Amino acid sequence: MGKTVVLVYSGGLDTTVCIPLLREEYGFEHVVTVTVDVGQPREDLADAAERAKILGTEHYTVDARAEFARDYCMPAVKANADYEGYPLSTALARPLIARKAVEVARSLPRVDAFAHGCTGKGNDQFRIEFMLRTLMPDVPIIAPMRERNMTRSEEIEYARARGVPIHQSSEKIWSIDENLWGRSIEGGRLEDPSHAPPEEIFKWTRSPQEAHFAPQVIELTFEEGVPVAIDGQPMAPLALIEYLNQLAGDHGVGRIDMMEDRMIGLKVRENYECPAAVTLLTAHRALEALVCTRDELRFKAEADRAWAELVYAGLWLDPFKESLEAFINKVQERVSGKVWLRLFKGSASVIGRESRWALYDAALASFDDKTFDQSEMSGAVKAHGLPARLYYQLKQRYGA
């Protein structure tokens, strides 16, 4: 057997073009393709396996959906994971995909290199290579798209010239990435920030105009920061996410059109569909606001932001991430209760919340109750802002 390369294989344009490139330009006789199922459409997985067969690779499809939902999406809920308005759907999956590729590589008698289809402009090159180098540091990594500086149009022409089966064309050139936590669409005319995305790019969400005309109220139950039931029906993470993607998507919830700052500094236009993620993060934040102190919420907002930035960068095994999770998980011990949301025409609005850990007392907060003796506040109000008042007086006196 000749040289062996393990290709992290999505079945899309970039990774499919990599297969003949690895043989023709890099001299690999044995190409092993690994597709990791993190919630892609069944037909996409079947297409990837069929393309791999046509192109003569040794192909593996690894089902990692339950693991992704439990060990990646649920920690993201606890951390209110959000990068500039993006719920980190693609970023969350990349470390797991790379980890599974390593598991396949370790099962083979010989591996001379890893390969992936990431370009030199995107974030995934950092995410995937970090995990590969961390888990198998002695195996070199090849990135044909980056190394050959190929454009998407050049890839399409290369594939056509060699009879490589692809779906892309110069008219529908956008790139789509999909997993349980979200769906991203980019490329083509979508790269123009002024171009309104065509309705045909959306698959998970109805437009607000076509969404249900009647609102729907749902009840989400959380235990220690993790959603465990919908409308009283217990669900495992995988089933819960899949159900919410369908339900919230039918109400048009989860469309995101944003300008995103990539890791290398490029500002790009991105379109996302994340119905379950948007719904769960909205509910989780509402429950935290009920049970956490002001200082906890303020500090956790910083911890959440730092956690999201590490995940966006693909640094899943960074010690700082572990340290942040120690604090986040401690706070989550009290984030248990129920949240009610109204799904309607593209919005998921919180309309109620309850918890045994609620730091809220109706009698203390009410203007029509005397449990809280307001007269006792006189001294506190007099002392409020004393240093600032003294500073202002000195400033007036000395004209500073």
Give yes or no for a contact between 290 and 359, defined as CB atoms under 8 angstroms apart.
Answer: yes
Active site residues: 14, 94, 124, 175
Q: How would you write 78-93 as a 3-class SS string? A: HCCCCECCECCHHHHH
Residue 17: φ, ψ to 5°: -65, -30
Which strands, in side-by-side order, build the sheet including 182-186? 175-179, 182-186, 267-273, 255-261
Q: Which residues contact 38 (CB under 8 A, 6 or more apart)?
A: 64, 65, 68, 93, 96, 97, 179, 180
Instruction: Say if strands 233-234 and 4-8 run parallel, antiparallel, or are unpaired.
Output: unpaired
Q: Which residues contact 111 (CB under 8 A, 6 or more apart)?
A: 4, 5, 6, 32, 105, 136, 139
Please give the structure tokens belonging to residue 206: 């109805």
Give yes or no for a contact between 314 and 123, defined as CB atoms under 8 angstroms apart.
Answer: yes
